[in-house]
Amino acid sequence: MEPADIDRILAEVGELVATRYVFAELGEKIAAQLAAAAAAGRYAAATDEATLAELVTADLQRGNDDGHLRLIHHTEPIPEDGDEHAIAEALYERRVQRTMSGIGRIERLDGNIGLLEISPALFGVHLVGDEITAAMQILRYTDALILDLRGCTGSDPGSVAYFLTYLLPAETHLNDVYDRGTDSTIQFWTLPHVPGPHYGTQRPVYVLTSHQTFSGGEELAYDLRHTGRATLVGETTGGGAHPRIGVRLGPHLEASIPTCRAINPITGTDWEGTGVVPHVATAAADALTVAHEHARTRLAQARDVDRPTAEPATAP
């Protein structure tokens, strides 16, 4: 890479972080640290954009561990368009098309227990709403549901609200999102209506988590945990709660800048830096087996409770 290109990229990243990062004072501090590292020659040896992205990301996250704050190198070209939203949407649609709309697996397990794997993300309803509805339609007669989020690394609050309408009462307050750019807060609630049958609020739900579960995947787990609707099984999640924007800095470079933060109406906070802690801690690789056994035991106990007691024998 040419020194002039490196300087330009660093200047643009610094400006974005200083002016748009969700925490204004911290953004200015990070931008100053980035400029100091550049002045000290830290990035001069970067021979390609992938190396530069790795170095810059490490420095952006140093001391704050914000997993959404990154300089991303894409192997495929980023569509060239002056509109940040159009660029982000084009990249997003590409992921949807190449991952079967995020429906990684759907299956009926022994004991009439449904399994739905969402990976790599719970994508936007405007793109995959029909697929979410179809999945819940397939699962509607199961006695319990296991939701596998171990590979789910993203979503958006609107998609989470849509999905959770199948599992929670209508108009349940789920999440608030504060946006620095507009200095406003948007509330997210389950919807009055979604297509097809609801799974309801009574059948058991288990959520599988891993250290890789991240961002919007974590919100889905967090909301289900704190509404008391599901039992979480697996590992503490990655801890990324700040919605981001993506800004194209070149054919293969994207600056990822968190501009918002989540505020849960029950906890008053979010999962940034801490992750979502499971009820039942186990290795991610074992989470499905553990959750399946829990679900089978719970259903068996419920059947025992519901089974009529035999009439006592009477003397002849």
pLDDT digits (tens, 9 = 90+) for 136-155: 999 999 999 999 999 999 99
Percent of the chain with pLDDT over 70: 95
- Annotate the chain with three-state secondary structure: CCHHHHHHHHHHHHHHHHHHCCCHHHHHHHHHHHHHHHHCCCCCCCCCHHHHHHHHHHHHHCCCCCCCCEEEECCCCCCCCCCHHHHHHHHHHHHHHHCHHHEEEEEEECCCEEEEEECCCCCCHHHHHHHHHHHHHHCCCCCEEEEECCCCCCCCHHHHHHHHCCCCCCCCEEEEEEECCCCEEEEEECCCCCCCCCCCCCCCEEEEECCCCCCHHHHHHHHHHHCCCCEEEECCCCCCCCCEEEEECCCCEEEEEECEEEECCCCCCCCCCCCCCCCEECCHHHHHHHHHHHHHHHHHHHHHHHCCCCCCCCCC
CA separation for the pair 67, 2 (Å, rounded): 28
What is the arithmetic mean of pLDDT over 46-70? Answer: 94
What is the arithmetic mean of pLDDT over 286-313? Answer: 83
CB atoms near residue 134 (< 10 Å):
16
The CATH number that domain 99-240+275-303 falls under is 3.90.226.10
Q: Which residue has the higher pLDDT, 92 or 102?
A: 102
R_g of the chain, CA atoms, integer Å: 23
pLDDT band at 78 (very low <50, low <70, confident <90, very high): confident
pLDDT band at 156 (very low <50, low <70, confident <90, very high): confident
Residue pLDDT, tens place only, 191-219: 999 999 999 999 999 999 999 999 999 99
pLDDT band at 81 (very low <50, low <70, confident <90, very high): low
For residue 235 the two structure tokens come to 């590992």
Residue 115 clears pLDDT 70, i.e. is over it: yes
CA separation for the pair 155, 124 (Å, rounded): 7
What is the arithmetic mean of pLDDT over 57-82? Answer: 89
Residue 236 clears pLDDT 80, i.e. is over it: yes
pLDDT of residue 65: 84
What is the arithmetic mean of pLDDT over 153-159? Answer: 92
Using an 8 Å Cβ cutoff, are 194 and 166 in contact? yes
- The DSSP bridge partners found for residue 219 are none
> pTM of the entire structure?
0.87
Residue 82 clears pLDDT 70, i.e. is over it: no
Domain assignments of the chain as residue spans, ordered by start: 3-77, 99-240+275-303
Residue 315 clears pLDDT 60, i.e. is over it: no
